[in-house]
Amino acid sequence: MNLFDLTGRVAVITGGNGGIGLGIAQALAGQGCNVSIWGRNADKNKAAAASMAGLSGKVDTRVCDVTDPASVNAAMKATLDMFGRVDGCFANAGIGGGGRRSFIERTEEEWRTMFATNLDGVFHAFQAAARHMTERANAGDPFGRLVATSSLASIFGTARNEHYAATKAAINALVRALGVELARHGVTANAILPGWIKSDMTAGIMANEKFVANVMPRIPMRRFGEASDFGGIAVYLMSKASSYHTADTFVIDGGYTAF
């Protein structure tokens, strides 16, 4: 038995059209998983699908804004119509802190926007997926994987980015609660905590020489992470290999937190 063969499985990846989400989608499709990539930008969705030509899993894309439950529910319905089932939901879409500012200057709008995407977005995607997964479990087919992309910001004190940190810490609590609640349906819930990873979100800060000079010596592996570094954990969490692993958080940071 190949523990990591995902042939016949179906996974949704929100924010799967770039960065970490695309790394996850490519790895899953490489193991035979059919994937549905959800993002707001149709051109980015198309380009992401094109980058996956030749992989063994089929690729579907959906224009979806995770802040809007109607948009998420429509994307879930379309994915179910296309593939007939959804076995995994990677709630990865997120926005960064943007221009950092002090807490006392934080605007109501910045706070709300951050929570709408990074936390409400996970709620919407997980709830749509869990409804389907628990229905299927009740019909005798118990299998589901909920995986959220959290951040080291959830466990570090991140000054001037407290709204981002708060959304990510909430995600860690969410997967612990869901891991307990949904275990009886065969559905696991876990979160991935990336360290410093190259993507559109971090391109600005990583172009700053002072930042690189400060951070790089604190990363034992002496490099920033790549989206492809998330393929292994995604395949593990999607596969049978992780059947007994739930309500947990996985730090993928090149050793940064340990140093």
How many angstroms from the chain centroid is the CA of residue 86? 15
Rule CB under 6 A: say whether 79 interacts with ligand NDP: no
Q: Which of 9, 18, 129, 172 binds ligand NDP (CB under 6 A)?
A: 18
244 is known as an active-site residue: no
Q: Does 154 interact with ligand NDP (rule: CB under 6 A)?
A: no
d(Cα 217, Cα 230) in Å, to the nearest integer?
22
* Beta carbon of residue 194, minimum distance to ligand NDP (angstroms, whole number): 4
Two structure tokens written together for 247: 């309500």
Which of these is catalytic: 164, 236, 244, 256?
164
Nearest-CA neighbor of 20 among 242, 232, 229?
Answer: 229
- Is residue 141 involved in binding ligand NDP (CB under 6 A)? no
Of the pair 151, 246, the CB lying nearest ligand NDP is at 151
15 binds ligand NDP (CB under 6 A): yes
Q: What is the dihedral of CA 65, 69, 75, 78, to 10 degrees?
A: -160
Q: Should residue 64 be labelled a site residue for ligand NDP when binding is judged by CB under 6 A?
A: yes
Which listed residue (26, 34, 151, 158) binds ligand NDP by CB under 6 A? 151
Provide DSSP, 8-55: T-EEEEETTTSHHHHHHHHHHHHTT-EEEEEES-HHHHHHHHHTTTTS
Residue 200 is a binding residue for ligand NDP (CB under 6 A): yes
Are residues 6 and 31 in contact, defined by beta-carbon separation less than 8 angstroms? yes
- Binder to ligand NDP among 6, 10, 20, 49 (CB under 6 A)? 20
Residues composing the chain: 259
Residue 40 binds ligand NDP (CB under 6 A): yes
CA-closest candidate to residue 89, choices 19, 5, 28: 28
Are residues 90 and 147 in contact, defined by beta-carbon separation less than 8 angstroms? yes
Scanning 38-46, 53-61, 97-105, 243-251 for contacts with ligand NDP by CB under 6 A, the matching segment is 38-46
CB of 196 to ligand NDP, least distance (A): 5
Q: How far is the CB of 1 from ligand NDP (least distance, A)?
A: 32
44 binds ligand NDP (CB under 6 A): yes
Q: Is 110 exposed, middle or buried (0-12, 13-18, 19+ CB in 10 A)?
A: middle
Task: Quote the tokens at residue 30.
Answer: 């490489």
Q: Is 41 in the site for ligand NDP (CB under 6 A)?
A: yes
The binding site for ligand NDP (CB under 6 A) comprises 14-15, 17-21, 39-41, 44, 64-67, 92-95, 117, 121, 149, 151, 194, 196-197, 199-202
